[in-house]
Structures are given as C-alpha cells and as structure tokens.
Amino acid sequence: MVLINALARHNLKSLIWGFVTQTKATVRRGHAFSCTVRQDQLLAHVGGNGLPAQPLFSRKNRNLHKRRAWSQNSAHFGGGGDSRNTCLSLEDVALQIKEGLYRRILVMVGAGISTDSGIPDFRSPTSGLYSRLQEYNLPYPEAIFDLRYFLREPQPFLHLARDLLPGHHHPNTAHHFLRLLNDKKVLLRLYTQNIDGLERAAGIPSEKLVEAHGSFSSATCTMCLKSYPGETFQKAVMESRVPLCSSCGGLIKADIVFFGEQLPPRFLLHLTDFPRADLLFVIGTSLEVEPFASLVYAVPSSAPRVLINRDPVGPFARGSQGLNVLVLGEVTTGIKRFVQLLGWQQELEELEKNGKQT
C-alpha cells in the first residue's frame, strides 16, 4: 500500500510538472516589450490556499531563487541576464538588495554619469566632447587621445585637460549613489571609463575602483618612463606649461589610456570579479569602446543586469527581458527613482549635502 501511494504521488507530480513545463504565460510590462514567464513561476506567487504567497524573490523564497540560479549558472556560465524564465523589474532588484540577497554588486559606468557635473560626454551630437573639438583644428576628433599626435602636438590635450583636472568639478547624485553602495558593503568593484576622478572625489576607496582608461592621479615620461605624481602634470597644465621630464626632457603624460595603449594592470581584476558578481549595474555608457564594453557579458547568467542610461545599448537593445532591466532617460532621474525604491533618500541627501560643503 505504501508503494502504491508513493507511485500515485509520483505520477501526480509528473503530470503536474508536465503541464507546467508545457504552459507559458506572457506578461505585458509597460508598452515597450513583452516578457515570457513560465507558469511554474506564476504558481510560486500563490500559496496552497490560492492566496498570494511571498514574492518570488522575497527572503522566504531565496532558496528557490538560489537553486534556479545555480542550475542556470552550471548550464551556461557567463552572458548575464540570460534567464528566459524570469521577468525582473526594478522593484524586484531593490527588494532583493534590501533583503540582503545581493552582496557582490559590480558597476560599469561611462561619461553619462558625469554630465550633471558639467563634464560633456563624448558622443552627444551638440554637447558631446567630440563635437567641441573643432577649435583645436584636429585632423580627426579622436586625435586628441592619439599618442603619436600627442607627441607631435601636445597642446590640444593639455588644453582639454585643464577642464578635466580634479577639483574643477564635483560629484553628483550618480556618484553619491555609488558611494552608498560601498558604504552598504555591497559593492564588489566599480569599473569606470571616466578620467575625471569624480568617483574618487565621491569617496570610493581605491581598492574598490578600476579606472579602466586611467586617471590624472599619476603621470609618466613618454621617453624614459620615469613616474611622477599626478600633481606634477596638473601643476604644469594649470600654469600653461608643457610638462617635461626632469631627467631626460621628454614629454610627461598623465596616465590616461590613449588609443592603442594598454589598459592599466588593475583592469585584469575583471577576470575574477565578474564571475563572482550577483548583480551588475551599467550606467551612463554607450558600450562602444572595447574591451570595456564586453565586460557586460562576463557576469554569470544568473546575475541580473540593470541599465540606467539615456538609450538602450549592447545586450539591452532588445528591451527588458529575462534578467535585464532597463531604466531609460536621464541618469540622475533613474538613480533617484531607484534610491527611492531602496529607501535610501535621506542617506543620499546627506552625502550630497556634505559634498557641496567640501
């Protein structure tokens, strides 16, 4: 009798599972995309009495989420946000952060986070940096970051550097949000394409920061490779002098990565950071410059990816689906919306207040 009951339960379970795996529900979110959700996930929201149970990603259901994440990660490591069985919202992400389910958050940022600090991005048609370089009579816009051109004509870059040196601009809401992630001890690492140093100014510790395209914090002679503190280069620039090496007379260049140069050694941290990430934010970047752009694909397939950006880019071009979440529009507006969902408004306002006083 025990054996018969066990077989009956097994057959019933198989029948239900077969029905679940054959059934799909399409959930409409907003008007820009559709998201396919398997029926078994819809059932996860309903208790045995037919009443709503805990949200799928609540603390009480975290083991379910971890089992799925492990199976997805084992089957297909890398790619990030690739789960086709889940339709995640920004509210879901905020809830999971508040409940402590994400402890290894990676962030990738570009020039779009600094525009509210008065620094132009590179590719905006009218206000972007490349559109403002005509005054330098460059042979082509990218020449301002071309090492061979810099060695012949250093003045255009030195003139541009005056506006980018630390102290000329101040962190904005986006930078303070990144500082909050660090203060909450959930920031694994921040990878930035920016050379403005505003992440440092916001209080992000050096060990949590990877400045993929370099910074003004140090400088190097282009001939003898003698190292200099960043202040040496900065002082010469502010005095409208060409910075020259005291040893060989060569041209000193800030340790900014020009086209064709190798990225800083710290960039290799991505080899161990991204496989460990449980959540990725991509903020204010066009994802057009390699190898930085490819990092978005390096997180586990179980890790959600959240884009806060003016336009959909890279893997987000198909809209919000699976574990990809899009927040389109002005970066600061998107950040404030997310901070409100987290309930961190007061702490953010305090950081902004202190930032204005310094």
Residue 12 is predicted with a pLDDT of 43
87 is in an annotated binding site: no
Q: Give me the torsion for CA of 122, 128, 129, 132, rounded to 10°.
A: 150
So what's the pLDDT on residue 45? 29
Q: Please check if 245 is assigned to a binding site.
A: yes
Q: What tens-digit pLDDT sequence spans the chain (358 residues)?
A: 444 454 444 444 443 344 333 333 333 333 233 333 322 222 222 233 333 333 333 333 333 333 333 333 333 335 666 555 568 999 999 999 999 999 999 999 999 999 999 887 665 555 556 556 667 788 888 888 999 999 999 999 998 888 888 777 899 999 999 999 999 999 999 999 999 999 999 999 999 999 999 999 999 999 999 999 999 999 999 999 999 999 999 999 999 999 889 999 999 999 999 999 999 999 999 999 999 999 999 999 999 999 999 999 999 987 767 799 999 999 999 999 999 999 999 999 999 988 765 5
| Rounded distance between C-alpha atoms, residue 43 and residue 201, angstroms | 47
What's residue 99's pLDDT?
96
What pLDDT was estimated at residue 74?
Answer: 31
Q: How far apart are CA 29 and CA 122, in angstroms?
A: 33
Give residue 357's pLDDT: 55
Q: 59-94: buried (b, 16+ CB within 10 Å) or exposed (e) per residue?
A: eeebeebeebbeebbeeeeebbbbbeebbbebebbb
The whole-angstrom separation of Cα 224 and Cα 58 is 58
Residues carrying an active site annotation: 213
Burial class (CB in 10 A: 0-12, 13-18, 19+), 239: exposed
| CA-based torsion, 180, 336, 27, 95: positive or negative | positive
The confidence score (pLDDT) of residue 274 equals: 98
From residue 331, how far is each of 66, 110, 116, 174, 256 by CA, in Å?
31, 11, 9, 7, 25
Does residue 248 have a known ligand-binding role? Answer: yes
Chain centroid, CA 301 distance in Å: 16
Give me the helix-helix angle, 345-357 and 173-183, nearest 10°.
Answer: 120
Measure the CA–CA gap between 120 and 110, rounded to whole angstroms. 11
Domains along the sequence of the chain with CATH: 77-118+171-213+263-358 (3.40.50.1220), 120-168+214-256 (3.30.1600.10)
What pLDDT shows up at residue 128? 52
pTM score, whole prediction: 0.75
Separation CA 63–CA 45 (nearest Å)? 14
Structure tokens at 236: 């010469």
Q: Does 221 carry a binding-site annotation?
A: yes
